[in-house]
Amino acid sequence: MTDADVIVTKDIIKTYEDGGVPVQAVRGIDFTLTKGEFTAIIGPSGSGKTTFLNVITGLDTPSSGEVWLSGKLLTSMSGNELSDFRRDHIGFIFQAYNLFPVLTVEENVEYVMLLQGTPKEERHEKVMDILGKVGLADYAGRLPSRLSGGQQQRVAVARAMVSKPSLVIADEPTANLDSKTSGALLDMMRSLNEETGMTFLFSTHDEIVMKRAKKLVVIRDGKLDGSGSIEG
């Protein structure tokens, strides 16, 4: 690994049991993601990309192989150590937003920092700063139910980025949005990527995401099928 590497995987294999029959969902993937990338993992349904994403974020354990995140061997961790490390180093954006309905926008965004023990004044300052960047500073006191789908996903982006994690993972972030809203969201995320240097990794079927990614990584039948830089 180098200091520029955020994620490095070495010969990752993930095998499931399906009715007593072993099924290899991920088949020996070597992968490197460096700081500041804006990369999308693509592939057909059942290709193994979701399993691979779960493995590199510590949500699932590989059958064999190594996952390194920010210079630490993720696959050697378990329990609270893994949970705390994931909390401090990875920001998640889900297709279903996953906002707490009884918390305001500000409370949703500050939640991870609350778990991290960040002082109240510092939390407020960081929340308002990121809400300003995603265009929602005037919505801090609103509940998610009073926001559009696109606005809720912007809150999710703000929550994922507010503590400046090593990596932001976005799993099908545009799945519940129309094309115009999806385009605006991705333009905003790419702008934030370029402004902050934060690293983004997407899993997607959406051409809107693919067109805005700086690099595509293809997974097919549990293996890497190629990757390449994209102009734009």
Q: What is the CATH number of the domain that holds 152?
A: 3.40.50.300
Over the stretch 137-156, which tens digit does the pLDDT of each residue have? 999 999 999 999 999 999 99
Range of the domain at 70: 5-229
Q: Which residues contact 85 (CB under 8 A, 6 or more apart)?
A: 58, 69, 72, 74, 77
Q: Report the domain count for the chain.
A: 1
Tell me the two tokens of residue 198: 């934060």
CA dist 184 and 47 (Å) reads 28
Q: Mind listing the pLDDT tens digit for each residue in 18-47?
A: 888 888 999 999 999 999 999 999 988 888
Average pLDDT over residues 159-179: 92
Residue 201 CA to residue 89 CA, distance in Å, equals 13
